[in-house]
Amino acid sequence: MATNPIVGNVSDIINTNKNATTTQKDGSTMGKDDFLKILITQLQNQDPTQPLQDKEFIAQMAQFTSVEQLTNMASEMKLMRQSLGFVSGMIGKSITWDSTDSSGATVEKSGVVDSITFKDGNQYANVKGEEISLDKLKKIENPVESQ
């Protein structure tokens, strides 16, 4: 059994030890490993005569897991959306997007996608030499054939 019991609210402990337990790139948020370390410490120092006292902490852990899974799903969806298989199907399609002209006004443009390029982790549709970020697209459709 541990000799140093945790005293106080778990969120207070997390906030006071935040700098010591962060591993994220920006150093401002806790990662899942940090959270699990705190959980293990909490469980090791739990009062065996009051095992349900920390039910709020367990609820926070469940919420943390849910948020982590949602984040993972969002990342996977982004990767799926940006996969080469999806965007290569845009070649030959007519797209519509908003652009800013020389006077600063927003103008709606459209054209047929000639190719797809990748730069700095982002994908762009090329229409007559102009690169359009895929997140700027308003519409994708089959091109209208002239008769």
| Domains of the chain by residue range | 10-81, 84-141
Position 26 scores a pLDDT of 54
What pLDDT band is residue 21 in, cutting at 50, 70 and 90? very low
Q: How does residue 82 score in pLDDT terms, banded at 50, 70 and 90?
A: low
80-106 burial by CB neighbour count: b if 16+ within 10 A, else e? eeeeeeebeebeeebbebeeeeeeeee
pLDDT at 67 over 80: yes
pLDDT at 96: 93
Q: Give the pLDDT band (50/70/90) at residue 53.
A: low
Distance CA 117, CA 125 (A): 7
pLDDT of residue 30: 67
User: Please, what is the average pLDDT of the chain?
Assistant: 75
Of residues 147 and 118, more confidently modeled: 118
Higher-confidence residue: 92 or 55?
Answer: 92
CATH topology of domain 84-141: SH3 type barrels. (2.30.30)
